[in-house]
Structure 1
């Protein structure tokens, strides 16, 4: 499937509310991240600042601020005098994401064990059980995202949390790509119950090993599928 050449139909206006310029920029950023991750804006699609502003019901300034932020996270590419496009997907990038993400997930698991409360860890286990018992793949994915995001919050580290969210967004985009664009039927999932139980038990080593195995499994499966399609 080829990338869309414009942004028509990519989004909906943001709900009107009292916002500072910074808050509005965050809202535009979040809306564009969702569209890119879920492939409403396909890899390689050209982006028009004016069209995005019109679709989201905002001015050009918050759109430009959001695009600069997305560029810093390598979700878009801005070429001077040529325009902006959604970051293409390829095998090299997928390997780099996994390589950078794995040690940070290990650290996140250890910090979550050390700093999370018993109640917070019990909530993690509840999420993991729901994920394991869900029958729909999309439900499993949504709960997996919630699980990882919750682990990140337990680190209590204001630098680590946004970095891990960035890598999670990239990984989600890759998942949607291999599942929807490549129409892969070979996708499997790993449940999070064992690692959640280890966190609740205070077992730092097992929690870290389980989380990195989980992330590594999914990342390697994506790399394999991309390689099979010559990307």
Structure 2
């Protein structure tokens, strides 16, 4: 089964976007791969319009590079760009945790625990896509509770650049360390220990390695 299969007719732009992100992150569409909206539309069972809309969004997120009337390609993995995005995302998550900890209720902690259980189950099943989704669900809780929409929008803007990085990590044995850090983060949040929770958030996001993902200082 591949990511580029026909998708349901509802929310076609979002479905096309999700399928293309998965194909890029998984390597089915590797860096430098030329993208033709007609071919992609045929594989996805869609018209060209939602595919073009999805490609435009991906270009804005720098997962795709495009030159009008010339080409559209999967973007290369560039360590410098990833380092910049990672620094921003790491700082935003730390701020979310710092703001949220005093306001986390048991229902929020329960959601975080459930998300980490799903994360571990995804690792056991060797399903990195599910692991990424579970990781998102866990970290979404402090972002939601902190209530800072500018922060949330910044995370949404820059997280796509980190997807290939996350996918690689969650496909390796190193992902087990992420699960343990998640548990420690939840424990610190439950104890109301803001400083420990912020430090653990930094460790979690600092565990991603931009250089490893790129395979070189600059993989252009």
Q: What secondary structure does 1:46 align onto?
A: coil
Query: Shift of the alpha carbon at 1:41?
Result: 1.0
Whole-angstrom CA distance in 2 between matches of 1:205 and 1:124: 18
Q: TM-score w.r.t. structure 1 length?
A: 0.76
The 3 A distance-change label for structure 1 pair 73 and 25 is same
The alignment status of 1:217 with 2:207, answered yes or no, reads yes
Aligned to 1:121: 109
Taking a change above 3 Å as real, the CA distance of residues 84 and 114 of structure 1, as seen in their structure-2 partners, is farther
Q: CA deviation at 1:129?
A: 5.5
Q: How does 1:1-231 map to 2 (within 5 A)?
A: 11-16=4-9, 19=10, 23-128=11-116, 131=119, 136=124, 138=126, 142-143=130-131, 145-156=133-144, 157-176=148-167, 187=174, 189-190=177-178, 191=180, 192-219=182-209, 222-224=210-212, 226=214, 231=219
SS at match of 1:100: helix
Distance in 2 of aligned mates of 1:175 and 1:155: 19
Q: After TM superposition, give the deviation of residue 228 of structure 1 in Å.
A: 5.9
CA distance in 2 between partners of 1:124 and 1:84 (Å): 38
**Aligned-partner SS, 1:74:** coil
Q: Which runs of 5+ in 1 are unaligned?
A: 1-8
**Counterpart-to-counterpart distance in 2, 1:12 and 1:227:** 30
Contact residue 96 and residue 143 of structure 2 kept, 8 A = yes
Structure 2 gaps, min length 5: none
User: Is the Cα–Cα contact under 8 Å of residues 165 and 213 in structure 2 kept in the other structure?
Assistant: no
Relative to the length of structure 2, the TM-score reads: 0.79
1:74-97 superposed Cα distances (whole Å, 9 cap, x missing partner): 111111221111110122222222
Q: Answer 1 or 2: which has greater helix percent.
A: 2
Bigger Cα displacement from structure 2, 111-120 vs 47-56: 111-120
- Counterparts of 1:209 and 1:146 in 2: how far apart (Å)? 21
